[in-house]
């Protein structure tokens, strides 16, 4: 598996269509054969992370207005301010 690149930044959680608080993210894209996968971490207030973990649809609206990144909160421990994510849609620089 080879690394394609990493993006870092800040934005706002979009949780089931509503703004859900500020978030910082770091996402790494990798290629294996013809498949691309992206995952990383997010940092936010614990309440916003819990809301995102429980939601059906979660995105990150980037502060640079480039595009919204669709994510799934993969692992979260109660009270934590960071969580592992898997990207469920396109990632662009």
The answer to whether position 13 is within a domain reads yes
The answer to whether position 35 is within a domain reads yes
Poorest-confidence range of 5-14, 20-29, 60-69? 60-69
Domain that holds residue 48: 2-87
For residue 93, what pLDDT is reported? 58
For residue 9, what pLDDT is reported? 95
Q: What is the mean pLDDT of residues 52-69?
A: 90
The answer to whether position 57 is within a domain reads yes
The answer to whether position 92 is within a domain reads no
**Which residues partner with 72 through β-bridges?**
86
The verdict on pTM exceeding 0.85 is: yes
> What span, in angstroms and rounded, lies between the C-alpha atoms of 5 and 44?
23
What is the tally of structural domains in the chain? Answer: 1
Q: 47: part of which helix (H) or strand (E)? A: helix 46-54
pLDDT tens digits, one per residue of 29-57: 998 888 889 999 999 999 999 999 999 99
The answer to whether position 93 is within a domain reads no
Sign of CA dihedral 75, 58, 21, 29: positive
């Amino acid at each position: 598996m080879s690394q394609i690149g990493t993006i870092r930044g800040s934005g706002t959680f979009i949780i089931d269509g509503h703004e859900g608080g500020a978030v910082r993210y770091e996402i790494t894209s990798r290629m294996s054969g013809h498949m691309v996968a992206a995952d990383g971490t997010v940092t936010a207030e614990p309440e916003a992370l819990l809301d995102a973990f429980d939601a059906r649809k979660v995105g990150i609206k980037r502060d640079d207005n480039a595009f919204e990144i669709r994510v799934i909160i993969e692992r979260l421990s109660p009270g934590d301010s960071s969580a592992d994510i898997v990207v469920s849609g396109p990632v662009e620089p």
